[in-house]
Amino acid sequence: MLIQEEGMLQNASRHCRKPVINAGDGVGEHPTQALLDVFTIREELGTVNGMTITMVGDLKHGRTVHSLAKLLTQYRITLRYVAPKNLHMPAEIISFVASKGIKQEEFDSIEEALPETDILYMTRIQKERFGSEDEYKACFGQFILTPHIMTVAKKKMVVMHPLPRVNEISPEVDTDPRAAYFRQAENGMYIRMALLATVLGR
């Protein structure tokens, strides 16, 4: 069962005898994305432990980063945040992550956070989450990953993105071997197939 509105998952689960899979509930959570993201990190770098993960973009409305931040507390990692003003990671997520003993840092730019980053997790500014066009335009285009910025990144750093992208990753980055977002999207098919098979007892 697909849940599109935040908070609807709990309501649906009360009335369903079958398992309920949360494939994204509004601005709340996106746990299947978090599973494929962790799988992608392991595939790309061999492990999650010891990694510094930098999340960039609309962290306030980004359900993918909400779920991923929570799942990453199962590992020994450092989390870094780069977001426009008023789009920072919600306080409840920061508090949850802190309660698990995970180090968190905030930065004003990608360039500042990038040199020590192992996984750069880019997200789009979500136009549909804003009350007005002016609010959206005030945040749009502040953080764009370009080949020039990538020159300060580690040689084995990985760039991820839950897709779709708007303009936050320059198309020229696509040919960089560190760009893993298309491989990440492919992994989503495998992870969700495995999840469905597990739920169906296959």
Task: Please compute the mean of the pLDDT values over residues 112-137 and round it to a whole number.
Answer: 88
**Residue 23 gets which letter from DSSP?**
S
Domain 32-195's class?
A: alpha beta
Give tens-digit pLDDT for 60-84.
Answer: 989 999 999 999 999 999 999 999 9
Task: Please compute the mean of the pLDDT values over residues 180-191 and round it to a whole number.
Answer: 97
Residue 28: the pLDDT is 59
Instruction: Kindly tell me if the per-residue pLDDT of 48 is higher than 80.
Output: yes
Nearest to 121 by CA among 151, 163, 85: 163
Q: Where are the domains of the chain?
A: 32-195
Nearest to 178 by CA among 36, 34, 40: 40
